Structure 1
């Protein structure tokens, strides 16, 4: 039988992905070839048989390479001096491709805004918000989000915000051990595979527990989650990552579309927060939304809180958490560190 060659980092990750499927020992898997379209693996079986795998990169159509997979299996059988048992063509998780999530502009950075307990001003979390640094100043998402509307580029931006958030938490894990981070991901950007593995790997790299991360699922465009995307969300929830919806009223309908994916909370949009001081009828509408959320056991975070009157009314209506210019504007990590660890009051 052929010995086990040394695998480079990328191939090792693919091998580990296969091991989850095969429940084999690490040294039982070995490479016979690495190509631009993917990597061929062999797994020694019992009684001199062998199982061949062809892991294709994410952008490769598996149906086009079934014949190649059969050829790889035949080569494996020859090399191993064994009769090949079968060939399986697997799609490599997207984050294992050479440039997994596409290019992300080097000017893209994370700004952070605190999320506070409204009754005390205590910072309980930070939200990572994408910004673009230019010679003319820092640009908000309206200036660049359309450029990140496709799956790979959207996930590239998500990965950058994830790493920035985890670094922030790592820097403060000793002084504020319960601090958590939230970051955004479009529903349309949830892939069929690779996302949960990416998040789990990043958590391990930074030594952060999974329940310290919340992913806020946004809907800028109409979406329809595939079965694979739903599996990714369930896997994230199983890992302990919290999932949040971006708008409370829409979340009641989304719960049905999510087919049992556990949702821990939802955002109350700034337009509803502004209604709180507009009149009794408008305030009653917001109260009804918060009551329904409580019935569905959805924790609400109010965003766009700008006045103390809005904050006080939210507390009266039972909303515990919020964020907005009343407490702090989005800012770089280096600026935000000065205000963490103490209750935030009005910055106006």
Structure 2
């Protein structure tokens, strides 16, 4: 694997680590519960703890004030309680909003806002990015089609309305719709599931639950669906290409953009192709994404030993989750 930047070398070696060094938490794995680590928490902290800046040295007076704030015990305690760090770029001063710099600043703001949401959602325990669920899928979930718009009983109609025509409180998930089709038309489960997948907008139980939880989440920590994820990637890429000859700003913002790409790779627990066209950003995303998925696989494996108190079924559920994590890691290592 190519070295994408000098600062990547400070990343702790993950290949020989069985579990992550950060604190453990309880997560649900296909109905079972095992203890695994927040495998990206420390990695994200390292990436965001010393972000570069284009600002020069302060005056002596400002330096003394900064030191007082740094060593103040109360402020230090509050600082320690902060779980969510932020990506912050360097802006140009005194520029016209209608200029090229104004468009560039728009990309910086977009990247900062969306990255804040990713990090806040991750800190709250939610899946921060869902790269398979797009914005139009969310719109269809929360916009029930009128009963009169269906000319006949279709899988999509059954998804929204019962046999007596009464609308469902929530649309059926794909697994429920398949079982309903089995009872209605005597399909086998595989055939029914295939019909539910290809002839309706039904979502899997996990995806629909994620979208419903996302809708109830405050906007500042709302996770990103695939459309917003690609918008974030475009904004980071825009931030990387600084429209200026100011060496200090170019150096700072290109480095911050690379850190943002690396962070994005460490908060995604399933394999995705690099969303960047710029080679430097794509490489650093792939590097950190691969490292994160390997840590997830190791943490899943560690969760199998000893056997959890939930019994044999819980053990097999954790094993299936670990195998899935290993597959994701191997996909990233291709």
Both proteins in one fold, TM over 0.5: no
Greater percentage in strand = 1
Q: TM-score, normalised by structure 2?
A: 0.24
Q: With CA pairs under 8 Å and 6+ residues apart, which has the higher RCO, 1 or 2?
A: 2
Structure with a larger share of its residues in helix: 2
Q: TM-score, normalised by structure 1?
A: 0.23
